[in-house]
A and B are shown apart, each in its own frame.
Chain A
Amino acid sequence: MDHLESVSVTVDLLSGNEAIARGAFEAGVKVATGYPGTPSTEILEAAAAYRPAIYCEWSPNEKVAMEVAVGASLAGARSIVTMKHVGLNVAADPLMTFAYVGAVGGMVVCVADDPGMHSSQNEQDTRHYARFAKIPLLEPADSQEARDFLKRGLEISERFNMPVILRTTTRVSHSRGVVRLEEPAADRPPAEFHRNPPQYVPIPAWGRVMRARLEERLARLREAVEVSPLNRIEPGDPSLGIITSSISYQYVREVFPEAAVLKLGWSYPFPDGLIRRFADSVRRLLVVEELDDFLEEHVRSLGRACEGRAWVPGIGELSPARLEASRARMEGRPAPQPPDPGIGADLPARPPVLCASCPHRGVFQALKEFDVVVTGDIGCYSLGVLPPLNRMDTILCMGAGVSMPQGFEKAGERRKIVGMVGDSTFFHSGITGLLDLVHNRGTSTIIVVDNRTTAMTGHQDHPGTERNLMGEPVPAVSIEAIARACGIEHVATVNPWDLAGTTRALREAIESGKAAVVVSRGACPLCAGKPRGAPRVVDDSICQQCQQCLDLGCPAIEFTEGNLHINEYLCGGCSLCQQVCPFEAIRTQEGAHAD
């Protein structure tokens, strides 16, 4: 883009996620749903800034979010649904069949992948889902395209009656760039559902018709993608041509400025004719893509020789530096030398940790008393697996913390099993596991660490909170009441900053011989607005340096060169260190006892 033109146009500096939300606003999207997940979360948070023009909701999980958006589409309204890559696994069921049923109002499924696993448990490649579901795939490479492609995606969705996947990656979603803005288009016609069961009900007789119609739509899409302005050839030196998409395009332009480039913005259905023409116009063909060999395999299937994974890494995310190293290998040059490793080789790691005064710390500390298997789940409390807490044994996916204990138990594991799940994750997919535990006579204990928010992703509401994304006061659903309704008889609630009480409640639950639920209720300190108590100090004249307080892994407790000190700016006054100190050397400045 030419920066000088921006004088007469409204521009803003937006992240990819904010730009998607802006596109939704400009395109007249009526309903936006999603479930939080890094790196997708800010799409819906930014969309909420356009309330009430856009109705926004955090749904209990991605499947519900997808189904709500489908409902809006069938009523004729434009909708978007947002999630991270693994969220699409949860929402895959409605997506696969919605491809058959077909969209009425435009619907774009915004999915953010996480190459390099910055905040994820795997680095699956969402592009396969587009081919799997036989629906269009758009891949913006920066914030401007994120806004533009969202709007184009809605148009494609309506023109071909299909949901469209808009796939970003961490570096597209979380990079900011200059975006040209427009005002929203004129009002769209009011939503009205037109009954037509053969179109909307995939019972086998009608589903077979839909199946054939899906292929007809794909055939029309294959024609449209060939002439789409979302794909373009950037001419260059024909000795090397590069096919690329998404953020990889930006790295290609940095590292191979002279090359001819086929940039794919609408990458599925593949524009076969365009790919063939480009391949035939260059002497050597390279595919640069992150994660799987999605494009490379297809180019080969067209009978065109190409290189890709032989030079460009497919594990972890790309970067200009990694692609520079790829180029050096291709050209038989030595890789660029890293700087003197002595300077940074021995630096202390600084992994993320549970915050000072985090309620989860009390639960992990109490769990140290028990020889049990702990099945964990997805959230801040995943950090409890790391030293010095070391109190989580497994993590799989959302909800597995509740469901997996049953398998351990029925397999004959000699120890008792404790499942751990956060409040938002419990509503997302923990309840079905609880039903299994009761129905199939399990005896495990499930701890719901209820910090009153979806903390890890930046504090979103969920069914257990008292306000929704529209800002409306709503009844907070009781976790204890759900547990009882599921048939759990042993239900207890604890204050996680009371170590003795938490330990006692856990012992009763674990030794009850029945399925039990313990709710640890303590609000996330980042949301509480004020510290839990006065900052603690260490009385050096009493402290024996036994270091038991350090086993809490609290970032406020600093220990260097024999000096044990509590950082007064970080300390939230939760008193857990005071409770674990066997010498009563930790207290408040005024000498007050624990709250």
Chain B
Amino acid sequence: MQTEPATSLVLAGVGGQGILLASEIIARAAMAAGFDVKTNEVHGMAQRGGSVVAQIRFGPRVYSPLVPARSARILAALERVEALRYVDLVAPDGLAVVSSQAIVPVTVSSGAARYPDDAEPRLRSAFARLLFLDAASIALKAGSIRATNVVVVGAVAADLALPASAWEESIRASVKEKYLDLNLRAFQLGRDEARRVLGA
């Protein structure tokens, strides 16, 4: 039953940041490129400002929607410390795309926990390859901070061998018509930034 292993991705963030849309765009792009795809997302209670994670796997044949340990090729996070929660899912040579945004949880505001001030050095030591980017500012440049998630998707796309036409088809299928241009711009800027930094 051995087949070519699936490509696995993990998306992390905070409820309300648009993880579900980011997951859908990546999954639809893989489907448009002709792959079998599975994703998994968190719904319900976990969306009320809590930690949210989505997993995406694509390849000739995908079984588990959940990413096996130490196998994710890319971890993308919309919040800096959220990336650190999923270190054990990422392959030893995996890439982490992390938005530098910091969202302080209520547990920190109430004094019950501390928000780490050394997130960036920890990210550098945890991941073999790291793209630590100010995705929110890039999204503002594209037209709205709400497109931060799609900036990160663009950065992820820079490291995946899916055709540009698949990404465009996917974004068209996933966002509302009136936000299409904004999201296409955000995607492009995110991809350009990743290519610039990663040297693709």
Task: Out of A38, A254, A258, A336, name the residue touching B43 (CB < 8 Å).
Answer: A38
> Is residue A154 within 8 Å, beta carbon to beta carbon, of the partner chain?
no
How many A-B contacts are there with CB distance less than 8 Å? 190
Task: Out of B24, B41, B107, name the residue touching A349 (CB < 8 Å).
Answer: B107
Task: Out of B38, B41, B88, name the residue touching A177 (CB < 8 Å).
Answer: B38
- Cross-chain contact A347 with B81 (CB below 8 angstroms): yes
Choose, from B59-67, B151-159, B178-186, B188-196, the stretch at the interface.
B59-67
Interface residues on B, range: 35 or more
Docked CA distance A354–B110 (Å): 14
Binding site of A, secondary structure by majority: helix, strand, loop or mixed?
loop
Task: Out of A174, A254, A339, A348, name the residue touching B81 (CB < 8 Å).
Answer: A348
> Is residue B134 within 8 Å, beta carbon to beta carbon, of the partner chain?
no
Docked CA distance A324–B66 (Å): 13
- Cross-chain contact A257 with B2 (CB below 8 angstroms): yes
Given A171-B40, A351-B50, A352-B49, decide whether A387 and B34 contact each other with a Cβ distance below 8 A: no
Given A553-B106, A560-B115, decide whether A39 and B64 contact each other with a Cβ distance below 8 A: no
> Is residue B27 within 8 Å, beta carbon to beta carbon, of the partner chain?
yes
* A174 partner residues in chain B, CB cutoff 8 A: 40-43
> Is residue A274 within 8 Å, beta carbon to beta carbon, of the partner chain?
no
> Is residue B199 within 8 Å, beta carbon to beta carbon, of the partner chain?
no
Residues facing B in A387-428 (CB within 8 A) are 387-388
Task: Out of A3, A336, A339, A558, name the residue touching B104 (CB < 8 Å).
Answer: A558
* A118 partner residues in chain B, CB cutoff 8 A: 42, 44-46
Docked CA distance A216–B61 (Å): 41
Residues facing A in B22-41 (CB within 8 A) are 24, 27-28, 31, 34-41
Quote the shortest CB–CB distance from A456 to chain B (angstroms): 7
Given A348-B114, A352-B15, 7 other A-B residues pairs in contact with their CB atoms under 8 A: A175-B38, A176-B37, A324-B69, A350-B82, A387-B112, A550-B111, A569-B145
List chain A positions with a Cβ less than 8 A from chain B. 1, 3-4, 6, 11, 13, 38-39, 41-42, 118-119, 142, 171, 174-178, 234, 236, 247, 249-251, 253-255, 257-258, 319-321, 324, 336, 338-340, 343-344, 346-355, 380, 383, 387-388, 456-458, 547, 550-551, 553-555, 557-560, 569
Which 5 A-B pairs have CB atoms at the shortest separation, nearest pair first?
A: A38-B44, A119-B44, A352-B48, A348-B113, A175-B65
List chain B positions with a Cβ less than 8 A from chain A. 1-2, 14-15, 24, 27-28, 31, 34-51, 60-70, 81-82, 84-85, 87-88, 104-116, 122, 125-126, 145
